[in-house]
Amino acid sequence: MMQPARHSALPGFNLTFGITLLWLSLIVLLPLAALILRPWELGLAGVWHSITEPRVLASLRLSFGVAALAAVVNVPFGLLVAWVMVRYRFPCRNLADSLIDMPLALPTAVAGIALTALFAPKGWIGALLTPLGIKVAYTPLGILVALIFVGLPFVVRTLEPVIMDLPLDSEEAAATLGATRSQIVRRVVLPALIPALLAGFGAALARGVGEYGSVIFIAGNMPMISEIAPLLIVIRLEQLDYAGAAALGLVMLLVSFAILLLLNLLERRIHQRT
């Protein structure tokens, strides 16, 4: 006896696959194709000259170097914040949880102005640091502060669900066998969190490399000293040097992709070992 066809509320594979490819093409593939093809209007020699100028190399070193350093700083502090938010209950916890997302919700330009006002030589924090000979605003240190500020939520939100899923049995078993707190953290907790830590590091690094609004106000934007690569792209666009801007963007894309690919491969290898 023939059974009636079963109808699904969801559309078929062909339709959903076609819509997915169309959407990805419009949102991702076409802009990437334009970014990849536009620099070659300059020719191979022109592209090489455009991306090897001393000012460009200095901005790339600053952007990637400070973004990596900010991500390194955010990993342990993000782990600490995520651990406290998951494992402990305390007054005003919901307020603290909302504050973690503040850098994500706050317009980046507003964040940059606020950080500059705080760390400027006459700001609340800058006025305390200036007598000590520490200058934050309008220096690479100011860029580091801004990238730590915008990158912390990425590490915290990446780690929180992983910490929630950590079984307490293994920690309790280690404690009953005489392991100290530091030994439990080093031998039980951290090995399980390494993939999430790498993912949080990669997310914070990616955000930091492309950050613009929160940095330009506090950086000082001095060429060869505190000028980030995204700002140099904007400068080239204002000068109508679209091919040169695309060339610099292409370099940032390739370097970022290589770093994230390396982190993903490392994360996968750790998963396979565990």
Closest to 198 (Cα-Cα) out of 269, 99, 97, 102: 269
Residue bearing the bigger pLDDT, 260 or 4: 260
- The radius of gyration of the chain from alpha carbons, rounded to an integer in Å, stands at 23
Mean pLDDT of 192-216: 92
Closest to 235 (Cα-Cα) out of 45, 28, 50, 35: 50
pLDDT at 77: 95
* Distance (Å, whole) CA 89 – CA 142: 34
Dihedral sign (CA 166, 259, 215, 40): negative
CB contact burial 192-223 (16+ within 10 A = b; e otherwise): ebebbbbbbbbbbbbbbbbbebbbbbbbbbee
pLDDT at 270: 79
- Average pLDDT of every residue of the chain: 88
- Is the predicted pLDDT of residue 176 greater than 90, yes or no? no
Q: Which two tokens stand for residue 39?
A: 């620099």
Mean pLDDT of 56-76: 96
- Is the predicted pLDDT of residue 141 greater than 60, yes or no? yes
* Distance (Å, whole) CA 192 – CA 242: 46
pLDDT at 8: 55
Domains of the chain are 41-273 (1.10.3720.10)
Mean pLDDT of 161-169: 87
pTM of the model: 0.87
